[in-house]
Chain A
Amino acid sequence: MTHKEFKFCFENYFDAIRNYIYYRSGDAELASDIAQDAFMKLWEKQKLFVKGKTKSLLYKIAGDIFISHVRKMNNQRTFLEGVKFAFSSPDDDNNIDYTELKEYYEKALGKLTENQRTVFLMNRMEGLTYKEIATCLDISVKAIEKRMSKAIAELKKNIKI
C-alpha cells in the first residue's frame, strides 16, 4: 500500500469507520481514537490495496479494537444512555418538532442492542444499503434484515407519536 493509497483510504473511509464505532459505543472520543488506531494498524500491515476488501478489513480491524477495548474496560463500563447527534443544517420549518423527535430517538437507540443499533444507524445515517452493510461487516444480508426489522420494531415500541 502506497502513501497515496493510504490517503485515499483515509479520505473515503475514515468517517464511516469512526461513525461505525460511534454507533456501537456511543462514545465520540473513543470512536475517534479507535478509528485512528484502525488506520494505523492498516498501515502497519502493509497489505496490498484492494478497494472493497480494504474497506471491510478496516471495519474488521476497528471492530476488533473496539471489542478488546470493551473487554479491558468491562468492569468500569458506563451504561450507554443513548447516542447523541447534531443537526447538519438549521431547519427553519419545524425545528422544534425535530429537536424533540431527535431526543426521543437518541434515548430509544440506547435501548437497542449494539448490533441492532449499529446496523440501523449505518442504514439511516450513512445511507448504506443492506448489501453494502453486509459486505462491510462480513455478515449475511439475511442477518442485516433481521436486525433491522427488530430494531425498527423496538424503536416503534419506544417512540409513540
Chain B
Amino acid sequence: MNFDEENLYKGKDDTEIAEKKLFGNLHVDYDQSKSQAWEQLSEKITSSTVSESSPKILSFIGYKFLVAACVLLVFGTLVFCNVYTQTIICERGQHLNVELPDGSTVEINASSSLVYKPYWWNFSRTVNLDGEAYFQVKKGSAFTVNSKYGCTEVLGTIFNVYARGNQYEVLCVSGKVGVKARGGLSKSVFLEANEFAVLNNGKLLKTTEVNSSTVVGWKDLQFNFTSKPLKMVIKEVERQFDVDIKFDKNLIYTGSFNKTKSVESTLNLICLPFNLKFVKTGKNTFEIVDKN
C-alpha cells in the first residue's frame, strides 16, 4: 500500500467518521415539544371519543347488515327473475303475433296460451305452450317449447307446434328440431325441413311426405285437413270464429276452409259433402243435423 492510497482511505474514513459523529449529535429543534403535542392530541381525542367510537361499532354491525342485505337482494332478484312469468293468452277467434325478449317471434293461433319467463330469458329460452303456435327462433342457445304431452327443442329455426288436448304435432319448416314425448321412455325424434311428427299412443311418428304450407296454412287464415275427424274440424271452426257448435258424429273429413269467409258459408262448405245441414240456434251457437 503506497502513501497516496493510504491517504485516500484515511481521508475517506475521516469524512465518514466526522459525518457519523455529526449526525449522531444532531437533532431537529421543534418549537412544540412532544408532551405539548400529546396534550393537544389527547384533548382532541377525548372531545371526539364519544361521537367517534360509537358510530364505528354501529357501522361494523351496519356493514354486516349491508352484506346480508346485498346477498338477500341478489338472491331475491334471481328468485324473482326465475319465478316471474308472462302469460300470453290468445282468445278464440283471434291470432296473435308475439316477440320474445331475444327477437324470436311467435304467431299464436286462436284459443292458445304461451307462458315464458322474460327476466330469465338469458339463462334459458323456454316457453310453455298450450294450443298451436308458429315459431321463428333467433339463433342462440337451446330454445325449448314445453307442452303437456311433449317438448320440442331447437337452436334456431322455424317450426310449428300443435298441442291441443291429447294431440301433439310438430312440423319443422326449416333447420332442425328435436321432439320428445313427455313422460314416456321414447327417444327424441329429430326433424329436418318439411318433416312432421305426430304423437300417437305415447310414441312419436315421423312423416316426411308433408306439404308444410298446408300445416301452417292457418297463419294465412287457410285451414287444411287431410283425413281428420270431423269433430276436430268443427272444433277448429269454433276456435277461429268464436262460436259454439253442437255436433256429435264420427266422420272423417278432407278439405279446407278459409277464415276470411263467414261462419255460415264455412259451415255450409263442410256440411255439404256429408249430406248434413246446420241450424242457427242462438247468436253464436249452431247445431249440425242430418239434412232429412
Q: Which residues of A contact B (CB under 8 A)?
A: 3, 6, 10, 14-15, 18-19, 22, 28-29, 31-32, 35-36, 39-40, 43-44, 46, 83-89, 91, 98, 101-102, 105, 121, 124-125, 127, 161
- Chain A neighbourhood of B14, CB < 8 A: 161
- Chain A neighbourhood of B31, CB < 8 A: 28-29, 32
B26 and A161: CB pair below 8 A?
A: no
Q: Shortest distance in angstroms between A146's beta carbon and chain B's nearest beta carbon?
A: 20
Cross-chain contact of A44 among B23, B26, B30, B52 (Cβ < 8 A): B52
Q: Which residues of B contact A (CB under 8 A)?
A: 14-15, 18-32, 34, 37-38, 40-41, 44-45, 48, 52-53, 56
Contact A10:B41 (CB < 8 A) given known A29-B31, A44-B52: yes
State the majority secondary structure of interface residues on B.
Answer: helix
A28 and B45: CB pair below 8 A?
A: no
Contact A87:B26 (CB < 8 A) given known A44-B52, A46-B56: yes
- Chain B neighbourhood of A3, CB < 8 A: 45
In the complex, the chain A residue whose C-beta lies closest to that of B14 is A161
Cross-chain contact of B26 among A10, A29, A46, A86 (Cβ < 8 A): A86
**16 A–B contacts from the bound complex (CB under 8 Å):** A6-B45, A14-B38, A19-B28, A29-B32, A32-B32, A32-B37, A35-B37, A40-B41, A40-B45, A43-B45, A86-B29, A87-B26, A87-B27, A89-B25, A101-B22, A105-B22
Q: Shortest distance in angstroms between B35's beta carbon and chain A's nearest beta carbon?
A: 10
A18 and B30: CB pair below 8 A?
A: yes
- Chain B neighbourhood of A98, CB < 8 A: 18, 21-22, 25
B41 and A102: CB pair below 8 A?
A: no
B25 and A14: CB pair below 8 A?
A: no
A102 and B29: CB pair below 8 A?
A: no
- Chain A neighbourhood of B27, CB < 8 A: 85-88, 125
Q: Shortest distance in angstroms between A24's beta carbon and chain B's nearest beta carbon?
A: 12
B30 and A28: CB pair below 8 A?
A: yes
Q: Shortest distance in angstroms between B119's beta carbon and chain A's nearest beta carbon?
A: 42
A124 and B20: CB pair below 8 A?
A: yes
**A127 to B20 Cα, complex, angstroms:** 10
Cross-chain contact of B15 among A29, A39, A46, A161 (Cβ < 8 A): A161
Known A28-B31, A88-B27, A161-B14; 6 more pairs at CB < 8 Å: A28-B29, A31-B30, A84-B28, A88-B25, A98-B22, A98-B25
A39 and B41: CB pair below 8 A?
A: yes
- Chain A neighbourhood of B37, CB < 8 A: 14, 18, 32, 35-36
In the complex, the chain A residue whose C-beta lies closest to that of B11 is A161
Q: Shortest distance in angstroms between B11's beta carbon and chain A's nearest beta carbon?
A: 8
8 tightest Cβ-Cβ pairs between the two chains A and B: A124-B23, A86-B29, A85-B26, A32-B32, A46-B56, A88-B27, A22-B28, A28-B30
Contact A101:B18 (CB < 8 A) given known A40-B44, A89-B25: yes
A36 and B40: CB pair below 8 A?
A: yes
Most buried by A among B26, B27, B38: B26
A88 and B28: CB pair below 8 A?
A: no
- Chain B neighbourhood of A161, CB < 8 A: 14-15, 18
Cross-chain contact of B25 among A29, A35, A44, A91 (Cβ < 8 A): A91
- Chain A neighbourhood of B22, CB < 8 A: 98, 101-102, 105
**A44 to B25 Cα, complex, angstroms:** 36
B38 and A102: CB pair below 8 A?
A: no
- Chain A neighbourhood of B38, CB < 8 A: 10, 14
B41 and A85: CB pair below 8 A?
A: no
**A87 to B37 Cα, complex, angstroms:** 22
